[in-house]
Amino acid sequence: MSTLLNLSSTNHRVTWLGALVSIALLSSSCAFHSPGGDDVEPIEIDQSAVTAAASPPLPPPVSFPVFFNSGSISCSGATESADKIIGTVTFQPSSERVSFAVNVTDAAPNAAYTLAFSGKPSCAGAVFFQQALTTDAAGAGSFAGSFVKAPGQYDLLTDLGTSPTPTDPTKRELATGSGLTSVIVLPP
C-alpha cells in the first residue's frame, strides 16, 4: 500500500514529520508529492526499524550482594558486612516481570535452598521457588527465573533457606541486605 503525502507547506515541518512517522507505521511504502508538482520516487520503509527506534532502551541489570547470618533473617534483610558476602542476585528490568539470577559461592555444600522474594520491610507478597538452588560440594550454585509483578519500583528482599540446618548453621539462611534493593518492573 502506498500513501500520498502532500508537503505543500514548509511551515508545518513538525506536523508532516509526525504524519510521515504515522504513515510509516501504517504502511510499507510512501510516495511524496512536492509543492512544485514533481512526484518523488516511493520510499520503502522497514517497519521493524521504525518500531525499534521508537522503543526506549532497557535499563541495565542491577546486582546486590547476598549475605549469610547466624540465626534468622528479618523481613528487612540481612545484617550487611563485607566479610559475610556469599553471592549475588542480579535483576534485569523486564516488562511486567521480575527477572533474576542468583549465584552463591560459599553456601552449605550439597544443600537445596528454597528461594523467596518479598517486599521489605514486611515480607509482603512473597513468591517462593521451592528447592530451586542446589549447591555442589564446594557450596556453589545458581538459579535464574522470573515471576509476574505489576509495573513499578520495588524494594525486594531475596531470601534463601535450607533445611535441615547444615553443619555450619550460619549458612542455613542467606539474604540480601537491609539497604535499598531497588527493582524496576517495566510496563508492557
Domain boundaries, the chain: 2-54, 62-186
Evaluate whether 66 touches 79 at the Cβ level (below 8 Å): no
Handedness of CA 113, 133, 118, 159 (dihedral sign): positive
Contacts of 98 (CB under 8 A, 6+ apart): 91, 117, 146, 147, 149, 154, 156, 183, 185
Report cis status (omega within 30 of 0) of the bond before 42: no
Lowest average pLDDT, out of 32-41, 102-111, 117-126, goes to: 32-41
Report cis status (omega within 30 of 0) of the bond before 164: yes
Lowest average pLDDT, out of 18-32, 95-109, 120-134, 152-166, goes to: 18-32
Find the radius of gyration of the CA atoms of the chain: 26
Lowest average pLDDT, out of 2-6, 63-67, 81-85, goes to: 2-6
Q: Which amino acid is at 173?
A: E
- Tell which CATH classification among 3.90.1150.10, 3.30.565.10, 2.60.40.10, 1.10.3720.10 matches the domain 62-186: 2.60.40.10
Label residue 2 by pLDDT band (50, 70, 90): very low
Note the pLDDT tens digit of each residue in 3-33.
444 434 344 333 333 333 333 334 444 444 4
The rounded percent of the chain whose pLDDT value lies above 70 is 69
Please tell me the pTM assigned to this model. Answer: 0.69
| Mean residue pLDDT across the chain | 78
Label residue 57 by pLDDT band (50, 70, 90): confident
Polymer length of the chain: 188
